[in-house]
Structure formats: C-alpha cells, structure tokens
Amino acid sequence: MPRASVDWVGRIGRRLALRDLHVFFTVVQLGSMAKAARQLNVTQPAVSKAIADLEHTLGVRILDRRPRGVEPTVYGRALLKRSAAAFDELRQSIRDIDFLADPTVGEVQIGCLGTLMEVLLQPVILSFSRQYPGVVVRVEDSTPALELAALRDRRLDFVVRRMSRSLADEPASEELDAELLFQDELVVVAGPHSRLASRRKIDLAELVSEPWILSEPRSWNYAEIASAFRTRDLGMPKLRLETLSTPLRLGLVAAGPYIATFPRSVLQLYADRYSLKALPIDYCFRPWPVAIVTLKNRTLSPVVARFIECTRQAARSIGGSFRRQAFDRPRGDVSQEQNR
C-alpha cells in the first residue's frame, strides 16, 4: 500500500527538532552511534533516542544497524540531502547577519587547483584583505573529482578551475553553475638557452625533434599538442620528460634546451623570473576556459559575493592582457581554428 502523506504541521513542523537532525548527521558522518555520542559529548542512549524520535516522526527507518556500525537507508539519504541544504541556509543566514552587523568580517571557502592559486587568487586575496581585513579566506587544493562532493556538502562556497570542455558535457552538470572568467591560452615555451628563443616565426614541423617536456597523456595540454601535430600529419614530438609538475617544468625549461607547454597566464606570471618566451609558432590552440563553479540554487553570503566580484575584476585584467598580446603574435590558420 502507498505510504500515507505526512501531516507537516502536526507531525513535522511541531516535532522535528534541529538537534535531532544534527545528531543524525553526526552519526552518518562517523558511522557509529557510540562515536557520535563521544563527539557530541552526550550519552549513547541520548543519541539512540534522537534517532528513534526522528524515525517515529517521519514514520520510516532512516538508519540500518549493522555489526560494523550504521548507514543511512534510502529514506535516510533523502533526509540527509535535503536537510543539508536547509542547515546550509541557516548557516548562511547567520553569516548574513554577521556581515550586516559588521561588513568587515565573515568567511570565504574556495576550492582551487595548482597555478590558478598564484595566477588569480593571490592578487585577489591581497586586494580583498586590504578592504576586509576581518574576513577569513580558506583555500582548499581541490581537484575536479573532489570538488563536487565539497560543493554538495557546502564545505566550499565556490571553485575556481580550468575547464577542459563545456560544463554541459561534464558529469553532474545539472547540479552546477559555471561562470566564465577568462579564456586562457596554451603556449609553447622556451628558455634563454634554447636555440629557438630568438626566432621570430617557427613552423610546427620544426618542433618534432626538439627535446619536449610533456604532461601525462590524459591531460588537456597533452591532448592539444597531439591534436596539433596530428592536424599537420606530423608524428608526436620527441619526449624527454613527462611530468605534471609546474615548478619542475619551469626550472628545466629555464636551465636547459627543453621546450614545454603552459597556459599563457602561467607564462605571464613566471616569464621575467625565469627568462621564458612563448614561441611564435604557426598554430592557434583552442582557448582554455577558466571559470567559477558554484552549486545551483545555493544562496551565497554577501561577503562571498563580494569576493567573487573581486575575482571577476582580476580575471578581466588577465583576459585583457591576453587580447593585447594577441596583436603581436602570428594568427595561424584562422579558418582551421574556427572549425575546431
């Protein structure tokens, strides 16, 4: 038989306690009522009673008791998902009140990976902290595989990331919003000891036998290099080193005859320090979008919104410098680029 609908006012609105929900979250997180009791500094019978009260109020079992602990049932997972959003809205309301009472305080939680921390977030944090010295900024070294869970759990307000493809083509896109900040570019870079550094124009075919430092084959920049050489009916270039380490690639390109690929934003950051130069090759790579990713339908606090606005301003500056540099480099086969 279908389950009877629940009377919200009589059975839920008046009986569902936020404290019981908090106990439920803690039990699920730790997988044990005993561990939850210790963390909450209450007795285990008190934890058991809170769970029993929730199950009685909802009319369903929300936890399965197993020899090694507990885990949420299908009803428990539904409660966990929806209640997490409700608790997050409550937390955000407190943050809003704090910000309204004192606009110089608050907290911003960001996920970001690799060199974007230096390229984009470092100047933003310096500027933002001068305006709002009481705001705490927390930056987590995130990866695409971990960021969705962190956004879902509300552990991050937003993520700054490079996107290898349209968000609509990525897993879980229905849960996320992406705002384009700027289009980065992939460039081939040489150091002062490379014989190519002084050249004014280079054909892609000339780079086949050069000593390359490449990222792993699954990376976006490796795929772009492979596509470029394949488009020109050329074999893959000569590999000397394979690594994802930006510091290692920068150091070796600066000290030896190697060439490697970097986003133009990274080159802009390190060009003077390492005497690096983007080679003027006759090929235009596809743009590399950098975006802010947030959880759909989540209301962000005013202080987070202000930090995002500062990030937009910094991104416009970076993107504008790329457009100015575009007039000084070969444009390559424009028709080919439009068809990619």
Collect the ranges in the chain with pLDDT lower than 70.
Answer: 1-15, 99, 103, 164-173, 320-340
DSSP 168: G
CB-based contact 70:64 (threshold 8 Å): yes
What is the CA angle 111-114-115, rounded to 5?
115
3-class state of residue 36 by DSSP: helix
Rounded Cα distance, 132 and 120, in Å? 18
* Residue 238 token pair: 């000569």
What is the CA angle 78-83-89, rounded to 5?
145
- Distances in Å between the Cα of 23 and the Cα atoms of 10, 38, 251, 255, 282 are 22, 11, 51, 57, 62
| Confidence at residue 171, expressed as pLDDT on a 0 to 100 scale | 53
With residue 214 as reference, give the H or E element that holds it. Answer: strand 212-214
* Residue 39 token pair: 């963390």
- Best CA proximity match to 236, nearest among 251, 218, 224, 244: 224
Rounded Cα distance, 143 and 115, in Å? 13
The third-level CATH classification (topology) of the domain covering 186-286 is D-Maltodextrin-Binding Protein; domain 2 (3.40.190)
| Confidence at residue 299, expressed as pLDDT on a 0 to 100 scale | 82
The third-level CATH classification (topology) of the domain covering 102-182+289-323 is D-Maltodextrin-Binding Protein; domain 2 (3.40.190)
Amino acid 145 reads A
Helical H segments across the chain, by residue range: 18-30, 33-40, 44-58, 74-101, 116, 122-131, 144-152, 220-231, 246-255, 264-274, 302-326, 334-338
* Predicted TM-score of the model (pTM): 0.68
Rounded Cα distance, 338 and 115, in Å? 28
* Residue 40 token pair: 């909450």
Domain limits, CATH 1.10.10.10, in the chain? 8-84
Neighbours of 105 (CB within 10 A): 15
Domain limits, CATH 3.40.190.10, in the chain? 102-182+289-323, 186-286
Q: Partners of 64 in the beta sheet?
A: 71
The third-level CATH classification (topology) of the domain covering 8-84 is Arc Repressor Mutant, subunit A (1.10.10)
DSSP 12: I
CB-based contact 54:24 (threshold 8 Å): yes
CB-based contact 105:79 (threshold 8 Å): no
| Confidence at residue 154, expressed as pLDDT on a 0 to 100 scale | 85
| Confidence at residue 104, expressed as pLDDT on a 0 to 100 scale | 73
